[in-house]
Amino acid sequence: MKLIVANFKMNLLIKDIHNYLEVIEQKLNKDQVIFCPNNLHIKYFSEKNYLVGSQDISFQEYGAITGDTSINQLKEVGITYTINGHSERRQYFLDNKYINKKVKLALSKQIKIILCIGENLKAFEENNTFSVLKDQIDNALKDNLNYINETNLIIAYEPIWSIGTGKIPTNSCLEKTILNIKTYLKETYNLNLKVLYGGSVNLENIDSLQEVSEIDGYLVGSLSLDPNKFLTLINKINN
Protein backbone atom coordinates (compact mmCIF):
# COMPACT_ATOMS: atom_id res chain seq x y z
CA MET A 1 0.00 0.00 0.00
CA LYS A 2 1.44 3.35 -1.04
CA LEU A 3 1.38 6.26 1.39
CA ILE A 4 -0.33 9.46 0.25
CA VAL A 5 0.20 12.86 1.87
CA ALA A 6 -2.22 15.71 1.14
CA ASN A 7 -0.58 19.11 1.56
CA PHE A 8 -3.27 21.80 1.54
CA LYS A 9 -0.74 24.62 1.96
CA MET A 10 -2.49 27.96 2.68
CA ASN A 11 -5.83 26.98 1.15
CA LEU A 12 -9.47 26.30 2.07
CA LEU A 13 -11.80 27.83 4.65
CA ILE A 14 -13.72 26.10 7.43
CA LYS A 15 -16.82 25.69 5.25
CA ASP A 16 -14.65 24.02 2.61
CA ILE A 17 -13.19 21.66 5.21
CA HIS A 18 -16.65 20.56 6.37
CA ASN A 19 -17.65 19.86 2.78
CA TYR A 20 -14.36 18.03 2.18
CA LEU A 21 -14.93 15.74 5.14
CA GLU A 22 -18.47 14.96 4.03
CA VAL A 23 -17.25 13.97 0.55
CA ILE A 24 -14.45 11.67 1.74
CA GLU A 25 -16.34 10.04 4.62
CA GLN A 26 -15.83 6.25 4.59
CA LYS A 27 -14.28 6.40 1.12
CA LEU A 28 -10.59 6.00 1.90
CA ASN A 29 -8.26 3.90 3.98
CA LYS A 30 -7.41 5.97 7.04
CA ASP A 31 -4.07 4.20 7.39
CA GLN A 32 -3.00 5.25 3.88
CA VAL A 33 -3.59 9.00 3.79
CA ILE A 34 -2.01 11.75 5.90
CA PHE A 35 -3.77 15.11 5.75
CA CYS A 36 -1.69 18.26 6.26
CA PRO A 37 -4.15 21.15 6.36
CA ASN A 38 -3.68 24.63 7.74
CA ASN A 39 -3.02 24.53 11.48
CA LEU A 40 -6.47 26.03 12.14
CA HIS A 41 -8.11 23.05 10.44
CA ILE A 42 -6.11 20.17 11.93
CA LYS A 43 -8.66 19.40 14.63
CA TYR A 44 -11.44 18.77 12.10
CA PHE A 45 -9.46 15.86 10.63
CA SER A 46 -8.05 14.50 13.88
CA GLU A 47 -11.51 14.46 15.48
CA LYS A 48 -12.57 12.04 12.76
CA ASN A 49 -9.50 9.87 13.38
CA TYR A 50 -7.65 10.67 10.16
CA LEU A 51 -3.86 10.68 10.19
CA VAL A 52 -2.88 14.34 10.43
CA GLY A 53 0.35 16.23 10.01
CA SER A 54 1.34 19.86 10.32
CA GLN A 55 2.96 21.68 7.42
CA ASP A 56 5.76 22.80 9.74
CA ILE A 57 6.66 23.26 13.41
CA SER A 58 8.63 25.86 15.31
CA PHE A 59 12.28 25.04 15.89
CA GLN A 60 11.74 25.67 19.62
CA GLU A 61 9.44 23.73 21.92
CA TYR A 62 7.92 26.87 23.46
CA GLY A 63 8.74 30.51 24.09
CA ALA A 64 8.70 33.98 22.58
CA ILE A 65 8.59 33.13 18.85
CA THR A 66 5.80 35.35 17.57
CA GLY A 67 3.84 33.78 14.71
CA ASP A 68 5.15 30.23 15.23
CA THR A 69 3.15 27.24 16.49
CA SER A 70 4.80 24.97 19.02
CA ILE A 71 4.95 21.21 18.62
CA ASN A 72 3.13 20.79 21.94
CA GLN A 73 0.23 22.89 20.69
CA LEU A 74 0.11 20.87 17.47
CA LYS A 75 0.23 17.56 19.33
CA GLU A 76 -2.66 18.79 21.45
CA VAL A 77 -4.88 19.10 18.37
CA GLY A 78 -3.90 15.71 17.05
CA ILE A 79 -0.88 15.67 14.73
CA THR A 80 1.25 12.54 14.49
CA TYR A 81 3.33 13.77 11.53
CA THR A 82 4.98 16.99 10.43
CA ILE A 83 6.38 18.11 7.10
CA ASN A 84 9.91 19.48 7.44
CA GLY A 85 12.04 21.24 4.85
CA HIS A 86 9.41 21.82 2.18
CA SER A 87 10.93 23.89 -0.61
CA GLU A 88 8.54 26.78 0.02
CA ARG A 89 9.63 26.91 3.66
CA ARG A 90 13.27 26.63 2.62
CA GLN A 91 12.80 29.50 0.16
CA TYR A 92 11.22 31.96 2.57
CA PHE A 93 12.05 30.96 6.14
CA LEU A 94 14.40 28.04 6.70
CA ASP A 95 18.02 27.14 6.53
CA ASN A 96 19.64 23.79 7.25
CA LYS A 97 20.32 24.65 10.90
CA TYR A 98 16.62 25.06 11.67
CA ILE A 99 15.59 22.01 9.66
CA ASN A 100 18.04 19.98 11.74
CA LYS A 101 16.65 21.40 14.99
CA LYS A 102 13.10 20.58 13.90
CA VAL A 103 14.02 16.98 13.12
CA LYS A 104 15.37 16.52 16.63
CA LEU A 105 12.48 18.29 18.32
CA ALA A 106 9.76 16.42 16.43
CA LEU A 107 11.28 13.00 16.94
CA SER A 108 11.93 13.68 20.63
CA LYS A 109 8.18 14.32 20.93
CA GLN A 110 7.29 11.13 19.03
CA ILE A 111 6.08 13.04 15.98
CA LYS A 112 6.99 11.42 12.68
CA ILE A 113 8.72 13.47 10.00
CA ILE A 114 8.13 13.82 6.29
CA LEU A 115 11.46 15.32 5.22
CA CYS A 116 11.28 17.14 1.89
CA ILE A 117 14.36 17.27 -0.31
CA GLY A 118 14.75 18.56 -3.85
CA GLU A 119 16.95 20.39 -6.31
CA ASN A 120 16.31 23.55 -8.31
CA LEU A 121 16.31 23.69 -12.10
CA LYS A 122 19.93 24.86 -12.33
CA ALA A 123 21.18 21.91 -10.28
CA PHE A 124 19.06 19.51 -12.34
CA GLU A 125 20.34 20.87 -15.65
CA GLU A 126 23.95 20.70 -14.42
CA ASN A 127 23.50 17.07 -13.27
CA ASN A 128 24.03 18.06 -9.64
CA THR A 129 20.74 16.64 -8.37
CA PHE A 130 22.16 13.98 -6.10
CA SER A 131 24.84 16.25 -4.68
CA VAL A 132 22.11 18.65 -3.55
CA LEU A 133 19.93 15.86 -2.15
CA LYS A 134 22.85 14.30 -0.29
CA ASP A 135 23.70 17.61 1.39
CA GLN A 136 20.07 18.16 2.40
CA ILE A 137 19.86 14.67 3.90
CA ASP A 138 23.15 15.02 5.76
CA ASN A 139 22.28 18.43 7.16
CA ALA A 140 18.88 17.22 8.40
CA LEU A 141 20.14 14.01 9.99
CA LYS A 142 23.38 15.31 11.51
CA ASP A 143 23.52 14.59 15.28
CA ASN A 144 19.94 13.23 15.16
CA LEU A 145 20.59 9.56 14.48
CA ASN A 146 19.81 8.52 18.05
CA TYR A 147 16.22 9.62 17.43
CA ILE A 148 15.71 8.22 13.93
CA ASN A 149 14.39 4.82 12.96
CA GLU A 150 12.67 3.33 9.93
CA THR A 151 9.18 4.06 11.25
CA ASN A 152 9.47 7.73 12.19
CA LEU A 153 11.14 9.27 9.14
CA ILE A 154 9.86 9.43 5.56
CA ILE A 155 11.66 11.13 2.67
CA ALA A 156 9.68 13.13 0.12
CA TYR A 157 11.60 13.88 -3.06
CA GLU A 158 10.22 17.06 -4.63
CA PRO A 159 12.25 18.60 -7.44
CA ILE A 160 11.70 22.31 -6.91
CA TRP A 161 11.40 22.97 -10.63
CA SER A 162 8.46 20.56 -10.78
CA ILE A 163 6.29 21.94 -7.98
CA GLY A 164 3.21 23.60 -9.45
CA THR A 165 4.65 23.70 -12.98
CA GLY A 166 3.10 20.56 -14.45
CA LYS A 167 6.59 19.35 -15.40
CA ILE A 168 7.97 16.17 -13.88
CA PRO A 169 11.18 14.19 -14.34
CA THR A 170 11.12 11.25 -16.72
CA ASN A 171 10.41 7.85 -15.23
CA SER A 172 13.98 6.70 -15.79
CA CYS A 173 15.29 9.83 -14.07
CA LEU A 174 12.93 9.32 -11.12
CA GLU A 175 13.86 5.66 -10.81
CA LYS A 176 17.56 6.51 -10.74
CA THR A 177 17.22 9.43 -8.32
CA ILE A 178 15.02 7.64 -5.80
CA LEU A 179 17.19 4.53 -5.94
CA ASN A 180 20.23 6.73 -5.28
CA ILE A 181 18.47 8.25 -2.25
CA LYS A 182 17.58 4.83 -0.83
CA THR A 183 21.04 3.42 -1.47
CA TYR A 184 22.73 6.40 0.17
CA LEU A 185 20.48 6.17 3.24
CA LYS A 186 21.17 2.46 3.58
CA GLU A 187 24.92 2.63 3.02
CA THR A 188 25.56 5.78 5.07
CA TYR A 189 22.95 5.60 7.83
CA ASN A 190 21.77 1.98 7.70
CA LEU A 191 18.22 3.17 7.13
CA ASN A 192 15.63 1.59 4.85
CA LEU A 193 13.21 4.48 4.42
CA LYS A 194 10.11 5.07 2.35
CA VAL A 195 10.65 7.67 -0.38
CA LEU A 196 7.64 9.55 -1.69
CA TYR A 197 7.47 11.62 -4.86
CA GLY A 198 5.95 15.10 -4.93
CA GLY A 199 5.72 17.78 -7.60
CA SER A 200 2.78 18.26 -9.98
CA VAL A 201 1.21 14.89 -9.20
CA ASN A 202 -2.12 14.83 -11.04
CA LEU A 203 -4.70 12.57 -12.68
CA GLU A 204 -2.94 12.82 -16.04
CA ASN A 205 0.49 11.65 -14.95
CA ILE A 206 -0.29 9.27 -12.06
CA ASP A 207 -0.50 6.18 -14.29
CA SER A 208 2.96 6.91 -15.62
CA LEU A 209 4.34 7.62 -12.13
CA GLN A 210 2.94 4.30 -10.95
CA GLU A 211 5.37 2.59 -13.33
CA VAL A 212 8.31 3.83 -11.23
CA SER A 213 8.86 0.90 -8.89
CA GLU A 214 10.99 2.81 -6.36
CA ILE A 215 8.21 5.30 -5.51
CA ASP A 216 6.63 4.36 -2.16
CA GLY A 217 3.90 7.00 -2.24
CA TYR A 218 3.11 10.59 -3.12
CA LEU A 219 3.06 14.07 -1.61
CA VAL A 220 0.14 15.75 -3.35
CA GLY A 221 -0.44 19.50 -3.43
CA SER A 222 -3.10 21.32 -5.45
CA LEU A 223 -5.01 18.24 -6.59
CA SER A 224 -5.64 17.23 -2.98
CA LEU A 225 -7.73 20.38 -2.47
CA ASP A 226 -10.60 18.86 -4.48
CA PRO A 227 -11.93 15.88 -2.51
CA ASN A 228 -13.50 14.21 -5.52
CA LYS A 229 -10.35 14.45 -7.63
CA PHE A 230 -8.28 13.33 -4.66
CA LEU A 231 -10.43 10.23 -4.21
CA THR A 232 -10.07 9.49 -7.92
CA LEU A 233 -6.29 9.80 -7.59
CA ILE A 234 -6.24 7.42 -4.62
CA ASN A 235 -8.33 4.89 -6.52
CA LYS A 236 -5.92 5.10 -9.47
CA ILE A 237 -2.96 4.52 -7.17
CA ASN A 238 -4.61 1.53 -5.50
CA ASN A 239 -5.77 -0.07 -8.73
Catalytic residues: 86, 158
- Helices and strands in the chain: count of H runs, count of E runs: 10, 8
For residue 206, give the amino acid letter. Answer: I
**Contact (CB, 8 A) for 59 and 101:** yes
Please name the amino acid found at residue 54: S
Helices within the chain (DSSP H only): 14-24, 42-46, 71-76, 87-92, 96-108, 121-125, 129-141, 171-189, 206-209, 227-238
Contacts of 149 (CB under 8 A, 6+ apart): 191
Coil/strand/helix, residue 35 = strand
| Residues shown for the chain | 239
Residue 144 sits at φ, ψ, to 5 deg, of -115, 5
SS3 content of the chain, % helix, strand, coil (to 5): 45, 15, 40
3-state secondary structure (DSSP) of residue 108: helix
Strands of the chain, DSSP E: 3-7, 33-36, 51-54, 81-84, 112-117, 153-157, 195-198, 217-220
